[in-house]
Amino acid sequence: MKDKLEKYIIENREAFDIHEPGEGVWKKIEKNIQPKRSVNWRTIIWRAAAVVLIFAASYMVHDLLDGKKREIARSRTKKEKELVIPELREAEIYYSTLINEKLQEIKPMFSEDPMLEKEIRYDLNQLDSIYRELKNDLRDNIANQEVIEAMIQNYRMRLNILEDILSQLKPEENDNHSKYNSYDM
């Protein structure tokens, strides 16, 4: 079938070339053809620069605000750290000194009984964690007298533990000491 159609077109080629479309047809075709877009690089560069400028400005504003928030947080923590109650401060110094002295007295005995050291450290660490919780409570309830008394009691408990251990480990000194006391009466 192709051959017949092809043969017909070749034989009648001149008849096909006689007819030309009118000018209106070409105008309609030109309207439907999309015009070739030209790229305006200046516009693209200006838009890209505007986007970069907006991102940079927003980053700087965000960083500035974030820096202010960090500064406020730092000032709050400084204020919290600066929470000093004279009564509590004196008690901390006094009991810390006594506790350190008792620990220095007990230290030589640790080599004889390593389990003793572990037990003492464990007990003191427990009391230390309780003390930290009390300190946090004190920040929440500023200058609450009950919390301050509990903190001082915590120090007393530490000191009592160390004194009890010393009295158990040095019974001969306590016996001699009681003899002296009986003579003084």
Q: 113's torsion region: left (phi>0), alpha (psi -120 to 50) or beta? A: beta
pLDDT digits (tens, 9 = 90+) for 18-50: 777 777 887 888 778 877 777 888 999 999 999
How confident is residue 108, by pLDDT bands cut at 50, 70 and 90? confident
Rounded to whole angstroms, how far apart are CA atoms 93 and 133? 19
How many other CB atoms are there within 10 angstroms of residue 154's CB atom? Answer: 19
Where are the alpha helices (H) located in 12-40, listed in sequence order? 13-18, 23-32
pLDDT digits (tens, 9 = 90+) for 61-89: 888 888 777 777 666 655 555 456 777 78
- State both tokens at 115: 């389990």
**152 within 8 A of 88, measured Cβ to Cβ:** yes
Report domain extents, the chain: 46-82, 83-170
Residue 57: per-residue pLDDT: 92
The one-letter code for the residue type at 87 is E
Rounded to whole angstroms, how far apart are CA atoms 107 and 127? 19
Residue 50: per-residue pLDDT: 94
Average pLDDT, the chain: 78
Residue 76: per-residue pLDDT: 60
